[in-house]
Amino acid sequence: MEDPDFVVFAKLYAEAYARCFNKLFTGAISETESKLFYQQIFEKTGLTIGWRSLKNYSFFVLDKSRDENPSVASMDTLARYVLQAPYTNEIARKNDEGHHPYWFMYRSKNLTVAGADKPSGNKKILFTFVLVLVFTAAAFLWFPRKHELSVNEDFADLSATHLTNTGWSVLGKDSTYWTKRAGRPGSLTLFTLQGDNWPDGNTPPEIKNLLVHALPDGCFNAELQMQNFVPMAEWQQAGLLLLEDTTLNSPSVRISLAYNDMFGGYNKPKEVLVQAIVSAGHNNKPEEFAHSTVMLLDSIRLKPTLADNLKYTALRIEGTDKHYRFLYAGGNTPNAAFKEVAAKDISFKPRYIALFALKGRVPNTPVVPVTVKKFIMQIANCE
């Protein structure tokens, strides 16, 4: 790749990274980031760039001496992603836009930036210039947009375009149940499908239709609001999941409204509870650090109107540097006060937050819908 094209490609890659992750491109990306980057590009453009290529490009941008030569098709796909081109597919692009117009459009607009079209003299000076350009471009994109990591999602629009544009990714997509997500207007419907990220040496972790959003770099408050969810069978639950990365083998912590009938051999009434669990990942034994009973199911059976106390449920996480608070609010009105169910220092840095519903690895437990009314995330003052 000639030096002027390298400068433009470096700027393009930094812009694409900043758009995907809402943060500054500062170094080679991980395998997990590469896979999420791949998925975001595919969902937005309909085109693919291999995740390994995206990872290698990050090394290439930082060190031009590496043996890498991005194809024009890949550069066109990145340009389409940055320029928010219309959704397409490989066949349509080949038939209608095989001349890769978006790359050349982007190139023509950026080739003269800071004299990039002039012959280079000293390679080391050029490389330094490239790094400055990359970081400056990414910073220009990132800092004015940092507020976008504040989310107020009412799920009125559940189209793939809207979800992608507002920073959401769907992992473990179930083709049958994901299509039912808009079954109740004005809300997101998840389903308690089989799967779990609870460590199990015999079964890989899996949560279907896991709706993931990047977290801000600093402190934050996140709140999930659900309606009319009453878990009444083994392992049914729904809630919020914090992840170090998106592999589900990573360290994680979750808070959920859940069913429980396991009491270590003691005979106790079945319950609906708010449960919080932290896991170091990779088959390490998790720790339950919150177990707060909300309702006894026997009480509901004796007096069904008591289920109204589960009409509105809200789960909230307040995160600072390492200290996190976990809160619950619920009742028959939507404005019940939060109460803290646990506070804990977390040894890892969560980078993603996810909305989930599951029924563990129990095939006979019924699949039930979970109505999600709202998700709110705000950047908080760390002081």
**Per-residue pLDDT tens digits for 174-232:** 989 999 999 999 999 999 999 999 887 788 899 999 999 888 878 999 999 999 999 99
> What pLDDT score does 148 carry?
46
> What pLDDT score does 187 carry?
97
- Prediction pTM value: 0.66
Range in 83-87, 123-127, 215-219, 354-358 the model is least confident about: 123-127
> What pLDDT score does 88 carry?
86
Alpha-carbon torsion (296, 300, 301, 303), positive or negative? positive
373 or 120, higher pLDDT? 373
Enter the tokens of residue 33: 């980031």
> What pLDDT score does 282 carry?
80
Provide mean pLDDT across the span 371-379: 96
Burial of 103 (0-12, 13-18, 19+ CB in 10 A): buried
Other CB atoms within 10 A of residue 89 CB: 12
> What pLDDT score does 358 carry?
98
Architecture of domain 150-379: Sandwich (2.60)
Residue whose structure tokens are 């095989």: 98
Contact 286, 300 (CB under 8 A): no
Indicate the DSSP class of residue 249.
S
Provide mean pLDDT across the span 310-339: 95
> What pLDDT score does 313 carry?
98
> What pLDDT score does 122 carry?
52
To 5 degrees, how large is the angle CA 173–CA 174–CA 177? 125
> What pLDDT score does 128 carry?
52
Enter the tokens of residue 338: 């939060």
**Domain locations in the chain as residue ranges:** 3-146, 150-379
Range in 10-14, 63-67, 314-318 the model is least confident about: 63-67
CA dist., res. 82 & res. 174, Å (int): 28
What does the pLDDT look like over 263-305, one tens digit per residue? 877 888 999 999 999 999 887 889 999 999 999 999 988 999 9
Residue 149's pLDDT band (boundaries 50, 70, 90)?
A: low
Contact 178, 369 (CB under 8 A): no
Contact 42, 48 (CB under 8 A): yes
> What pLDDT score does 127 carry?
53
Provide mean pLDDT across the span 53-58: 92
- Return the amino acid letter for 198: W
Residue 126's pLDDT band (boundaries 50, 70, 90)?
A: low
Residue 248's pLDDT band (boundaries 50, 70, 90)?
A: confident
> What pLDDT score does 202 carry?
81
What is the DSSP code string of 179-246?
GGTTSSTTSEEEE-BSBB-S--TTS--B-TTEEEEEPPSS-EEEEEEEES----STT-EEEEEEESSS
> What pLDDT score does 87 carry?
86
CA distances from 242 to 18, 139, 210, 352 (A): 21, 26, 12, 6
